[in-house]
Structure 1
């Protein structure tokens, strides 16, 4: 049995306050991970899915195939990491833990999770950029069950009225030119979320990374260019001042009004887009000089926590392998509104639903927030980044000064 450091676990509890940016319902309950003979426990962040859902039925199916019963407990995403850390202290961890990808390094650093080398999970088919979100150092902890990310929704009616050809939008310069044309024609340009929380960082990162900036150097010229882009849009009226307080939900509501040409938002809004009442399209977020910018990945990893009884690992491996098989990943990705983490399943998704093609492109260019071996450093960096965005967009500081202050605070 691996020994846990009480100090590391306590610190990890403090760090596990990373906020989910896609949102879930309240927990349907809690419970001990302790299981009766023949029963294996699964903890997940999907309280919105009851026992009749495709996800719950898949869990039961995988249990049946492994010859065991499944006891499933769902928690709110923000609650799950703390529950997992506390359970580890008591040697009472779930057999399988499905957890938001930015939290994986926190749990790994605390010694809560086994590595794929230890549990012999095969991750060879998973896209490397998605797998990176669950890596710390040279080790991998679990495998992604799916991913969501950000892209640009656009209102085809507004673009048609204002004479903007969407095929011309290839980089920052052409996007800004399109926004200028839209505004001159009397329409609204672009809406996004720049709120002072993880949501604000999440939405800023594609522009930050798209400029070539790195999270280890918040005050670089590239980072300043990205923040100056957003600030310039507000100053010219291409984006509303409301973005400073917008969540991704309120930003979507602005776009759904039908007045805006563009909105930065996520895969999870696809169902709402179909109900918006106007013709829309989706474009991967452009990088500064063209091509697709790396947007941050959302989505969960399926992991195997450390157990005092190592004999439980064999069945846990069977359960994870079942949940992440090619056939079942397609079921799961559809049920959770995710893009699958493997090329083979992504191709199946695109065949069944061509509307997912720009999202698959975006996911292929996406990047984990804790990638680049940031691990548990990310929450501190993110907080300073969203503070810099707030300071610049409110006019309190120039982009350069706001980012210099952020970098100083991180150090």
Structure 2
């Protein structure tokens, strides 16, 4: 379920060439729309709510279609029309569509896109709607709700979260004479990798791609006490001592023979499935990977390599769209749909994503129905979510470039991080000029 791959790949291309202009915007410091209509039970005339989303295939598309069908059947005056497209296409198409009054009434956005959309004036504020629906920060994982805010106003209402975990091929571990209990500490993990190496197995393949090298690096960075950017998101800090420790740990996998020097996109998860490696840091979405399900595998929280527990997690948020001439009835109906979907989100876990609503995610019935999700639920206490700042995906993409250059031996760890941090600083400055604030 590589939901953000196309979007992040585009951002990576921009990051390499700092002079390239940023994504289309309604203008520097675009003004967002007013509040979305308060929810309440929608009792107005029959309306059709257009809902853009990036779930275009696999189990998620099927689950979403079924949920929408159930909602439509139980709401005689609301018809939700889901329109699936690539995530990158949503970002590209919304500005012009909204300006023409032809955008969706509702969309779903990743956590690091919300601020960009808000700064572009593409979204309605959701403060009043969230209050009417009864949502507060306490209803979601720690730190998540705030990621849907921009300049003091709420724009996103959380829908799902997708943390990283550690996958293990139990057959490979058994053949190496190792316990199938997945390592939880740096010492246990290193011992396992050394044992696997002695048996001719490169135990964990690291890569220089967003999926999943960048997510692994960010998890390690936070574990070593670092952060991606400063508090105001004006300067990159991923080249700190913590960042160097994180990337060095990954580079050492290559130099110590735990990993091949050059791993293709998806090479690590494919190697795990093929029995060529034992471990892979990957997202919760792999729990619905039908190829993986054929193997004797298990998942666990990512091991604690640094001084504290931390793990990367993405998120998706509902967002109400600020179309020219937006129909208030459709927005109010969309709010009803959002509330209903969050209340019925347990089945969403079957597609490899955790429901964001605490009441649903913490219900023992969820892990009873989807036992493979247990380790990912455990990680919610220390998950780190995406940075919130307009245009931030472009600056984030420089991290992937640094990883690639270091893992391939093109630059030292320090030089790779310093070079890309400087480029990220330029992009952050461009973002400020582009979006204001």
| Fold match by TM threshold 0.5 | yes
The one of 115, 125, 132 aligned to 1:115: 125
Relative to structure 1, the CA distance from residue 345 to residue 291 in structure 2 (aligned partners, 3 Å threshold; closer, same or farther) is farther
Question: Residues 64-99 of structure 1, C-alpha deviation per residue, up to 9 Å, x if partnerless?
Answer: 426122233211111112222222222333111123
Aligned to 2:304: 287
Separation of aligned partners in 2, 1:154 and 1:178: 11
Query: How many residue pairs end up in the alignment?
Result: 371
The one of 385, 396, 411 aligned to 1:368: 385
Separation of aligned partners in 2, 1:266 and 1:252: 10
SS in 1 for 2:123: coil
Aligned to 2:6: none
RMSD of aligned alpha carbons:
2.8
Separation of aligned partners in 1, 2:59 and 2:301: 33
Q: Which runs of 5+ in 1 are unaligned?
A: 1-9, 16-35
Q: TM-score, normalised by structure 1?
A: 0.81
Write out aligned runs for 1:247-266 (5 A). Answer: 247=265, 249-266=266-283
Greater RCO (CA < 8 Å, at least 6 residues apart): 2
Instruction: Give yes or no for contact 2:165–2:283 (8 Å, CA) kept in 1.
Output: yes
SS in 2 for 1:181: helix
Relative to structure 1, the CA distance from residue 254 to residue 403 in structure 2 (aligned partners, 3 Å threshold; closer, same or farther) is same
Separation of aligned partners in 1, 2:186 and 2:338: 41
Q: TM-score, normalised by structure 2?
A: 0.77
Instruction: Give yes or no for contact 1:148–1:363 (8 Å, CA) kept in 2.
Output: no
Aligned to 1:320: 338
Deviation at 1:309, TM superposition (A): 3.7
- The answer to whether 1:228 aligns with 2:228 is no
Write out aligned runs for 1:133-144 (5 A). Answer: 133-144=147-158
Question: Residues 227-250 of structure 1, C-alpha deviation per residue, up to 9 Å, x if partnerless?
Answer: 10011110011011233xx32x33
Aligned to 1:305: 321
Relative to structure 1, the CA distance from residue 163 to residue 291 in structure 2 (aligned partners, 3 Å threshold; closer, same or farther) is farther
Instruction: Give yes or no for contact 2:51–2:106 (8 Å, CA) kept in 1.
Output: yes
Instruction: Give yes or no for contact 2:101–2:326 (8 Å, CA) kept in 1.
Output: no
Aligned to 1:331: 347
Separation of aligned partners in 2, 1:286 and 1:51: 28
Relative to structure 1, the CA distance from residue 306 to residue 251 in structure 2 (aligned partners, 3 Å threshold; closer, same or farther) is same
Write out aligned runs for 1:42-121 (5 A). Answer: 42-48=51-57, 53-63=62-72, 64-65=74-75, 67-120=77-130, 121=133
